[in-house]
């Protein structure tokens, strides 16, 4: 089976590597020549554990390649997956223009090809978006029996995306009648899917992301309250999670970093915006991002309270094992500290500013134009002999920290790294 994958960002890159591994012949399509060249030469597209060998072996096999030519990609595949970005607009609304452009060009290519094709939308979109695409561009092809359309939300998490692809936490596919999965698409899906309407599949993705954001915000608020009472927030949340009957899964239920990344803030914003437009009041949802912002401000206050002008940040991407800087709390913190005259150094072994591409590069350019000056590969030099060290990820060898953290350092442990207590530094937990 041959698939074309439109958009070689985080989702498209992982999907390309994983589907190639599962035996598909994959053609990636992107508008950025650098991504096309990288894929064709088997070079990394993003930082994601386990992905690089898949891409390099795939390119070497000749069964994974990339092009900018939509006609060629559609002609040489039976299924097209759309994984282009759906960013937030300034007012929080969702921008689905990239999806529109791609869907239009795929529709034209399917018409020229004139053989049966499946279109699988994977970009996160609000309920009604797939139907809009169908009404605006696709209905004649469906009526002619040469196109079927599915909405197949992606639930992978950056940092564990390859493993998530192989073992998805949830599999839902929205189809035209809400019941029948097109045969060609069945082979593509990993796991047993719940088949539902397009709209249900679209909303499920927002429901999940809003719930994840809520869990993180909840754990962070309980964590802050704990600290105020001199209690360990980690312990409170850990005990809370032991109740698996009433309190469900423990995932995300740990106090720590304010949430960020390319999905949770954007998707909560879009959900809230669309509810407002529909005249629906969602007081819980409306306050999730405020809660996250208050949590971020508490981190800022903690850094300021240390009263040391030298600050090092270890781990600046939005979470461990990724180079994704989009809506990262540490990026925001870094900029704020620079603006307020702190002397800042950053250590993040996953980040190479020269290799950033696409929306991730844009996030870096917009929010951290000075990233290259602040980022240093030499961990001891980043730590120096004293100052505040904000550690958001376990991205540095603990032995080096043992050797180089001194009593002149105050460490702010953002995400709980208990071994830090064994260093000579004064360690303060964000919520414990
Ligand atoms: N990143 C995640 O962890 C994640 C997880 C689940 C779902 N999603 C959703 O998946 C979608 C993609 O997210 P992402 O993080 O991979 O985005 P991204 O910004 O990293 O990548 C999008 C890619 O699409 C390309 N593109 C834009 N217009 C194009 C066109 N006309 N033709 C071909 N390519 C085009 C861009 O050049 C870019 O390479 C979004 O809707 C996002 O909400 C993301």
pLDDT at residue 365, as a whole number: 87
How many other CB atoms are there within 10 angstroms of residue 251's CB atom?
12
Per the CB < 8 A criterion, the answer to whether 14 and 162 are in contact is yes
Q: How far apart are CA 112 and CA 122, in angstroms?
A: 24
Q: How far apart are CA 419 and CA 362, in angstroms?
A: 35
- 264 CA distance to ligand 1 middle (Å): 14
85, 325, 364: residue to mutate for ligand 1 pocket, most atoms within 8 A of CB: 85
pLDDT at residue 353, as a whole number: 84
pLDDT at residue 133, as a whole number: 97
pLDDT at residue 252, as a whole number: 86
- 123 CA distance to ligand 1 middle (Å): 7
pLDDT at residue 363, as a whole number: 83
pLDDT at residue 284, as a whole number: 87
pLDDT at residue 369, as a whole number: 86
pLDDT at residue 171, as a whole number: 97
pLDDT at residue 328, as a whole number: 96
| The dihedral sign for the CA sequence 206, 211, 83, 190 | negative
**Residue 29 CA: which ligand 1 atom is closest?**
33
| Sequence-separated (6 or more) residues with CB below 8 Å from residue 25 | 1, 2, 3, 63, 64, 76, 77
pLDDT at residue 229, as a whole number: 87
Pocket lining for ligand 1, CB < 6 angstroms: 6-12, 29-32, 35, 83-86, 98, 101-102, 123-124, 154, 156, 158, 262-263, 358-359
Tell me, yes or no, if 263 is annotated catalytic. yes
Which residue ranges in the chain fall short of pLDDT 70? none
Which one of the listed residues 83, 150, 263, 431 is annotated catalytic?
263
Report the C-alpha dihedral over residues 420, 328, 162, 166, rounded to 10 degrees.
100
Residue whose Cα lies nearest atom 17 of ligand 1: it is 85
pLDDT tens digits, one per residue of 149-163 = 999 999 999 999 999
Structural domains for the chain: 2-192 (3.40.50.720), 209-429 (3.40.50.720)
Q: Given the DSSP bridges, would you call strands 387-391 and 310-314 parallel, antiparallel or unpaired?
A: parallel
**Burial call 339-349: b when 16+ CB within 10 Å, e when fewer:** eeebebbbbbb
pLDDT tens digits, one per residue of 364-415 = 888 888 888 999 999 999 999 999 999 999 999 999 999 999 999 999 999 9
pLDDT at residue 167, as a whole number: 94
pLDDT at residue 114, as a whole number: 82
φ/ψ bin of 231: left (φ > 0), alpha (ψ from -120 to 50), beta (otherwise): beta
Q: Which two tokens stand for residue 25?
A: 């012949």
pLDDT at residue 170, as a whole number: 95
């Amino acid at each position: 089976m041959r698939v074309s994958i439109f958009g070689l960002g985080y989702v498209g890159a992982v999907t390309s590597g994983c589907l190639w591994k599962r035996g598909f012949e994959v053609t990636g399509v992107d508008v950025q020549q650098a991504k096309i060249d990288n894929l064709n030469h088997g070079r990394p597209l993003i930082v994601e554990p386990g992905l690089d060998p898949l891409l390099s072996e795939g390119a070497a096999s000749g069964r994974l390649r990339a092009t900018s030519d939509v006609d060629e990609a559609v002609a040489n595949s039976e299924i097209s997956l759309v994984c282009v970005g759906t960013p937030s607009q300034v007012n929080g609304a969702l921008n689905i223009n990239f999806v529109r452009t791609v869907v239009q060009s795929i529709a034209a290519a399917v018409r020229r090809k004139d053989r049966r094709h499946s279109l699988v939308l994977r970009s996160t979109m609000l309920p009604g978006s797939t139907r809009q695409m169908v009404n605006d561009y696709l209905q004649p092809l469906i009526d002619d029996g040469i196109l079927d359309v599915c909405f197949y939300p992606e639930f992978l998490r950056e940092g564990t995306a390859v493993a998530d692809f192989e073992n998805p936490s949830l599999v839902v596919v929205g189809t035209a009648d809400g019941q029948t999965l097109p045969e060609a698409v069945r082979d593509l899906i990993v796991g047993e899917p719940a088949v539902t309407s397009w709209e249900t599949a679209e909303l499920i993705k927002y429901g999940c992301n809003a719930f994840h954001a809520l869990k993180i915000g909840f754990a962070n608020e309980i964590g802050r309250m704990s600290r105020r009472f001199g209690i360990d927030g980690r312990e409170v949340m850990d005990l809370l999670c032991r109740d698996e009957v009433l309190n469900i899964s423990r995932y995300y239920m740990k106090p720590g970093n304010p949430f960020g990344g390319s999905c949770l803030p954007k998707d909560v914003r879009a959900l809230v915006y669309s509810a407002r437009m529909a005249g629906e009041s969602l007081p819980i949802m409306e306050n999730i991002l405020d809660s996250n912002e208050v949590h971020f401000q508490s981190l800022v206050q903690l850094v300021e309270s240390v009263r040391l002008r030298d600050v090092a940040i270890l781990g600046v991407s939005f979470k461990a094992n990724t180079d994704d800087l989009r809506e990262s709390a540490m990026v925001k913190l870094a900029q704020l500290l620079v603006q307020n005259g702190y002397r800042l150094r950053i250590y993040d072994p996953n980040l190479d500013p020269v290799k950033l591409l696409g929306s991730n590069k844009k996030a870096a350019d917009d929010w951290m134009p000075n990233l290259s000056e602040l980022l240093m590969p030499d961990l001891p030099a980043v730590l120096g002999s004293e100052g505040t060290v904000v550690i958001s990820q376990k991205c540095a060898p603990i032995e080096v920290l043992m050797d180089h953290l001194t009593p002149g350092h105050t460490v702010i442990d953002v995400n709980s790294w208990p071994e830090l207590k064994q260093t000579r530094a004064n360690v303060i937990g964000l919520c414990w």
